[in-house]
Amino acid sequence: MLQPMTRRSAFAMLAAGAVVAACNENPVTGRSQLVLVDDAMLAQLGEQAWRDALSKMPRTQSPALQTRLERIGARIVDASGRTNENWEFAVFDSPEVNAFVLPGGKVAFYSGLMELAGGDGEIAAVMGHEVGHVEARHAAERMSQQLLVQLGVQAASLVLSEEYGANAGAIAGALGMGVMYGVVLPYSRKHELEADALGVKLMRDAAYDPGDAVRFWEKMVASNGQRPKALEWLSTHPADDTRLVELRRAAAAPAPG
C-alpha cells in the first residue's frame, strides 16, 4: 500500500532530526528495542497512510458495523491505557478477511473479517492483536530496521557496533540482505506472536473471554482454502500450529494477580 522508504527520504529524516538513537526496554514486552525514529514522526506517517486508505477504499454501508467496531476498539484501548494515540477505527467494505493497524492508532477492519467473526469476543481478539502491535512499538522497531538497510550496511554497522559490539558486522550483513520493510508491510513472525500474546492479555483486561481468540483462529485455519495473500492477522509466515498452540496456552493461563 505504501511505497518502501527511499534512500533519499531516509536521509531527509536524518537531516530533519527525526532520527533518535535509542535502545530502550519496552515496558509492555519487557524486551529491549532498537528505535531510531521519533514517535511523532511515525504517527504523522501513519496519519498520511490512513488518509490515503480512507480516500481509496470504500467504507462499509452499515453504520451498525462501524459502531460495533468503535465500541469494541474503545474497550480494548481503555484496557491498554494507551490514550495518547489519536485512535480511529474504520470498517472497509471488502470480502477480504483482513485487518491492520497504522502507527498513531489507526485501526482498519475489512467487513469480511467482521462477518467471519461470530461475536464481539472474536472481533476483540483481532482488535487486541492490532492494539498489541501499537503497545509493543512494532512499527517503530520495523522502520528502524528499514532505516538501517536504507542507510547502507556500513552506516548500520557503525550504529550497531555501539549496541551489539563484535557481532555488528554479521548483524549488519543480515540486515543488508533482508527484506525491505514498510509502514504497512507484514510484521515479522516474532512481532506477530508478541501481538497475539498482548492481545490475549488485553482481552482479559477488557473482560472478554480470551478463548474467543482461539476460536477465531481455529475458524481461520478451517477456512484455509480461501486464505487471502496479504493478511496482516495471519502474517506471512504460515506456522499456524505454533501460533494456535501459543494462543491456547495464553488463553488457558490463569489471570495474573
Distances (CA, A) of 199 to 98, 115, 134, 251: 16, 20, 11, 10
Which lies closer to Zn ion via its Cβ, residue 155 or residue 185? 185
For Zn ion, which stretch binds (CB under 5 A), given 25-33, 66-74, 114-122, 193-201? 193-201
Which lies closer to Zn ion via its Cβ, residue 19 or residue 134? 134
Which residue in the list 88, 115, 122, 130 is annotated as catalytic? Answer: 130
> What is residue 57's three-state secondary structure?
coil
Q: Is 134 in the site for Zn ion (CB under 5 A)?
A: no
Q: Is 45 in the site for Zn ion (CB under 5 A)?
A: no
Question: Distance of alpha carbon 67 from its chain centroid, rounded?
Answer: 22
**Residue 163 to residue 48: CA distance in whole angstroms:** 32
Which lies closer to Zn ion via its Cβ, residue 151 or residue 194? 194
> Could you confirm whether 130 is annotated as catalytic?
yes
Shortest distance, position 212 Cβ to Zn ion, whole Å: 17
Which lies closer to Zn ion via its Cβ, residue 156 or residue 232? 232
Shortest distance, position 154 Cβ to Zn ion, whole Å: 32
Cell numbers of 63, please?
A: 453504520
Identify the CA nearest to 191 among candidates 31, 44, 57.
31
Shortest distance, position 45 Cβ to Zn ion, whole Å: 18
| Residue 203 and residue 70 in contact, taking contact as beta carbons nearer than 8 Å | no
**17 Cβ contact partners less than 8 Å away, ≥ 6 residues apart:** none
| H runs (alpha helix) in 57-137 | 63-80, 111-116, 120-135
Among 107, 123, 195, 202, binds Zn ion (CB under 5 A): 195
* 160 to 189: interface string for Zn ion, x by CB under 5 A: ---------------------------x--
Q: Enumerate the active-site residues.
A: 130
Residues that bind Zn ion (CB under 5 A): 187, 192, 195
